[in-house]
Structure 1
Amino acid sequence: MLNLRELRNFVEVAERLNITIAASVVNLSQPALSRQIQALERKLGVILFERIGKRMVLTTEGADLATQAIALLEQADALAQNASRKKLEQSGVLRIGGTPQTITWLLSPAMARFRVKHPKVTLMLNEGNNDELIEMVEHGAVNVVVANLGINNVLVGQPLFQSQLFAILPPNHHCLNKRSISIEQIAKDTLIVMSRGFLTRHLYEQIAAAHNVRPKILLESDSTQSIAALARDGHGVGIVSSSAQNIAAMQNAVLIESDLYQTTSEVSALWNPKRYRPAYLQSFLGALADICAEHGLTLRPQE
């Protein structure tokens, strides 16, 4: 039979996905906590954790146990606090992932608002490109990411906004002052583009392929600021997207349009329905939706 202490220690590991940190929280040595988790796995006859590279993730069985254990522990805590009838404040860890662009204008303010309502929840932030973020949330290294779903059929999510492709034109470019341009109008220009794995790069490459354009690339960068600066100083045409949300501040930014391929793509808050989800995740999703609405972005209801 399982006892509450075993479950509490397991939940600490499940929420932090780090034995060393969890051990310090429960006042055990790292080897002692590791042995306790191994004993729990033997008792249940299932594997609760696995390693993906250097990351520790929950197995499907581990995620199921975490959900049930948290519910049981909350009931036990509620019984202990029943005399005061005070609703317990949610606590734990919420692991979030985003690109540098969405962290700046969306995740950072959403996290600040979330902390006001959930001061006892520890927020842990991971940065990466779109492909890296999808891998993180798919394997359980994070609870939620802001990214483009693409063709992934494992994850589900809440749509947040449409990311639109833009070109940052250098001074004296022949297309300056146009509202929009086609990919052919910059086909002979040197380009400064986002690194592979970013949604912006995916969008551009798909459009270029549709129009049979082979780009001449000066630099692949993770930074829209670097791209905009190089374009401003005349080194080429920068390719960015509205995921950065500071397009208006970038000089000579024009829309890229195509009659062969879409130049926008949906960005969502994504999670893995087969992995553990903290109860307070919904509150964080609400904060993301509020920030998007304040930026004038359309949020479609989840289907």
Structure 2
Amino acid sequence: MDGGLMLELRELRNFVAVAERLNITTAAREVNLSQPALSRQIQALERKLGVDLLERVGKRLVLTAEGADFAIQASELLERAADLADQVSRNELENGGKLRIGASPQTISWLVSPAMARFREHFPHVDLVVGEGNNDALVEMVEHGAAHLVVANLGISNVLAAQKLFDARLHAVLPPGHALQGRSAITIDDIADEPMLVMRNGFLTRHLFEQTVAAHGIRPRVVLESESTHTLAALARDGHGVAIVSSSAQDIPPFGHAVRIRSGLCQTSAEVSALWNPRRYRPRNLSRFLDILVEVCNERLTGQA
């Protein structure tokens, strides 16, 4: 790619419209162009960049690998341009822009949602967009710029910056009347023969569970995998098995039947942090949201103690 290459915002905006819809006709209506005119613009952009951004697979229009990467970067540039225009037009350096936040469903429920509400009290003009996913998906989102900040376990990433928020600890939600109720903690061996209700692959709770059963040489009898802690806990409440959940699920009623899982062979907890990518664009209000997120987290943890 030519180091002196100049791109116009119009070119980026039109390409992003196509990349988001993967349909030239629909995108053309969105940007107020005819279909042939938009097609010519995309072809001209590909010639300028020297790469194919889109290709046909049968009747479907898909992004090439280069096109997918360029779409993320173009979206970031457009967002930065919108932020700059917003600063100039509003002349309110502290009160505009957009923040894209990601977290697991249970973390959104007990932490991110109340933090967003408090943030809006101070910065009502900031557009907050929240997305959910499992831990692996969240890390990928913030690494590639689909989110400005996520709440997740850092894992082995050497790209991201982190601010620790809390430790996620492995718990078992026991059916009512279970013989192990009342204990302060159990081991995975204590429930090795029970039907297990677990989170799907990719969630931090599932990582901890798999690590623990492997360390203890257990082949668990998994009867349900879910993306919802509420679903697992409800099934345990009704006697369908033992639900393996995180301590961050303490806001759901069935957690009252939960007991901590400990192990002398491996860790049954992991750090959960606010993660952001220092190599990518960070909106001016990101640090303020992070401060509020930490503040709300500390309040919630104090209330649980």
Q: TM-score range by the shorter chain?
A: 0.7 to 0.9
Whether 1:208 and 2:213 are equivalent positions in the alignment is yes
| 1:250 CA drift (Å) | 2.2
| 1:237 CA drift (Å) | 1.0
Residues 158 and 270, structure 1, Cα contact 8 Å, conserved in 2: yes
Task: Give 2:126's match in structure 1, choosing from 111, 121, 126.
Answer: 121
- Report which stretch shifted further, 211-220 or 268-277: 268-277
Aligned ranges for residues 24-103 of structure 1 at < 5 Å?
A: 73=84, 87-103=92-108
Identity, % of aligned positions: 52
AA of the residue aligned to 1:173: H
Counterpart for residue 159 of structure 1: 164
Counterpart for residue 237 of structure 2: 232
Counterpart for residue 150 of structure 1: 155
| 1:286 CA drift (Å) | 1.3
| 1:173 CA drift (Å) | 2.4
Distance (Å, rounded) in 2 between the aligned partners of 1:158 and 1:236: 36
Counterpart for residue 117 of structure 2: 112
Counterpart for residue 301 of structure 1: none
AA of the residue aligned to 1:103: I
Residues 194 and 242, structure 2, Cα contact 8 Å, conserved in 1: yes
**Residues 13 and 63 of structure 1: CA distance in aligned 2, closer, same or farther (over 3 Å):** same
Counterpart for residue 260 of structure 1: 265
Counterpart for residue 182 of structure 1: 187
Distance (Å, rounded) in 1 between the aligned partners of 2:169 and 2:201: 17
Tell me, what secondary structure is at the counterpart of 2:231? helix
Tell me, what secondary structure is at the counterpart of 1:289? helix
Counterpart for residue 191 of structure 1: 196
Distance (Å, rounded) in 2 between the aligned partners of 1:228 and 1:68: 42
| 1:90 CA drift (Å) | 3.6
Whether 1:277 and 2:282 are equivalent positions in the alignment is yes
| 1:217 CA drift (Å) | 0.8
Residues 67 and 277, structure 1, Cα contact 8 Å, conserved in 2: no
Residues 167 and 239, structure 1, Cα contact 8 Å, conserved in 2: yes
Residues 47 and 61, structure 1, Cα contact 8 Å, conserved in 2: no
Counterpart for residue 242 of structure 1: 247
Residues 234 and 254, structure 2, Cα contact 8 Å, conserved in 1: no
Gaps of 5+ in 1: 299-303
Counterpart for residue 57 of structure 2: none
Tell me, what secondary structure is at the counterpart of 2:183? coil
AA of the residue aligned to 1:295: R
AA of the residue aligned to 2:156: I
| 1:297 CA drift (Å) | 5.5
**Residues 61 and 109 of structure 1: CA distance in aligned 2, closer, same or farther (over 3 Å):** closer
Tell me, what secondary structure is at the counterpart of 2:218? coil
| 1:120 CA drift (Å) | 2.2
AA of the residue aligned to 1:278: P
Gaps of 5+ in 2: 54-61
Task: Give 2:176's match in structure 1, choosing from 167, 171, 174.
Answer: 171
Calculate the aligned-residue CA RMSD, in Å. Answer: 3.9
| 1:171 CA drift (Å) | 2.9
Residues 14 and 38, structure 2, Cα contact 8 Å, conserved in 1: no
What TM-score does the superposition give when structure 1 sets the normalisation length?
0.76
Distance (Å, rounded) in 1 between the aligned partners of 2:127 and 2:40: 26
- Report which stretch shifted further, 86-95 or 142-151: 86-95
Residues 19 and 33, structure 1, Cα contact 8 Å, conserved in 2: no
| 1:251 CA drift (Å) | 3.5
AA of the residue aligned to 1:193: V
| 1:60 CA drift (Å) | 9.2
- Deviations along 1:98-155, one digit per CA (max 9) or x if unpaired, are 1110111111111122222222222222111111111111111111111111112221
| 1:260 CA drift (Å) | 0.8
Counterpart for residue 299 of structure 2: 294
